[in-house]
Amino acid sequence: MKGAPIVFRLYRLVAEAVRPFVPFFLLERTRRNKEDRTRLGERRGEPSRSRPAGPVVWVHGASVGECLSLLPLVDEIASRDISVVVTSGTVTSANILAHRLPEGATHQYIPLDVPQYAQQFLDHWRPELIIFAESELWPNILHEAVRRKISMVLANARLSDRSFRRWKNLPVAAKFLFSRFDLCLAQSQQDAERLVRLGASRVSVTGNLKFDSAPPPASPVLVSGIEALIGARPVWLAASTHQGEEAIIVETHRALTEAFPDLLTMIAPRHPERGREIANLVARSGLSASQRSLGLLPDSATDIYIADTIGEMGLFYRVAPLVFLGGSLVPHGGQNPIEPAKLGAALVHGPYVHNFEEVYAMIDSAGGSIIVHNSTELTETVGGLLLDTAALRDTARRANESVLSIGGALQRTMAEIAPYLLKMHFGS
């Protein structure tokens, strides 16, 4: 890394030094279901697919949320007869993308940030444009891309207060990294100002691509089938819950059954592998649970239905008129509220929503979501909305209108990257 700060030279040396131990690291992650055993080679930069003929764009999102926000962008690029290789770093994101990528796009796991792995990946795919999402910065990959003179864009870029403060303490390193990008497309004016202060050379505000994401799909047959099983029962969904929240949901369910004896509560954990753990929690409370991962459906005896599968949130958002968004009653930072809002659900959330602070503030102010702080408030809010169907519909309408009113990021992003795409077809 000629001219690189000493911290990155050290980083590169460490990355090269640990390469012999990577197989053991990957196997350990496999045992914890953090890696796909059949595709470990991809994490070492070894491709599992052939490179298509013609121009290729590499699009990367770290995990599920980032990848879903990039899907409309991938669709637009692929529609221009440009092949797209989409990378991510989690098994869950790979499973979801397997069903949602358009024709002309393929998924690979991003290689670990080891120089040799980055070289192998780039030598195989030879992308003419790289688009990274939000604040995903891998020094060795960026260095190898710059060395090959590949154009790079940081799309949907955001910097939290915490990240900005951390980078401010490393000004030389920050400038070295952020200046690698030919273009940074920020979610907000605040994000843009922070990127400029950290050394980004060309910055535009394009908005948040998450607002333009299509809601997750669902089979109409499955939706109708679940709705028929639910029938006239009052139902609500606790979505993307984290450890510590399910106990609150179970307590809330028990309290609500005094007013709604046939209540059906659905829990969709953020990490589906926790389904058995949640089922045990429900059983210890004296309630009846059914796990979707075991092929069970919600029957009349089911108190709590555990939606512990991957890629079916579109189904459960469509059958639940009221959604509590998890990761918000514990200090995780909240989950994305845009999908259930687009599908017509009234929203409830806890106080810890700093990962999506602006979005929640907007929906809250529009009256499309309600904040709760504990089980008592959750019980009162969910019970009140289930009892007052007019208020439930009004809250859902406000949530839907608020998220639909702030689109346009996709068009602005495409306008910014259009020159790079045109260059692929017609040359410099």
By C-alpha distance, which of 349, 84, 338, 306 is closest to 207?
338
Q: Kindly report the CA angle at 345 between 340 and 348, in degrees rounded to 5?
A: 85
**Per the structure block, which two tokens stand in for 54?**
């013609």
Q: Where are the alpha helices (DSSP H) in 257-388?
A: 275-284, 313-319, 338-342, 357-365, 375-387
CB within 8 A of 370, min separation 6: which ones? 346, 347, 348, 349, 364, 381, 385, 395
What percent of the chain is helix, strand and coil (3-state, nearest 5)? Answer: 50, 15, 35
167 near 142, Cβ under 8 Å? no
3 state SS of 84: strand
End-to-end CA distance of the chain: 28
Concerning whether 66 is annotated as a catalytic residue, the answer is yes
Dist. CA 424–CA 188, nearest whole Å: 29
Largest CA distance in the chain: 70
Of the residues 35, 66, 246, 312, which is catalytic? 66
**Per the structure block, which two tokens stand in for 285?**
């409370």
Dist. CA 348–CA 361, nearest whole Å: 13
Q: Where are the alpha helices (DSSP H) in 211-274?
A: 220-230, 245-256
* DSSP single-letter state for residue 149: T
Catalytic positions, written as ranges: 66
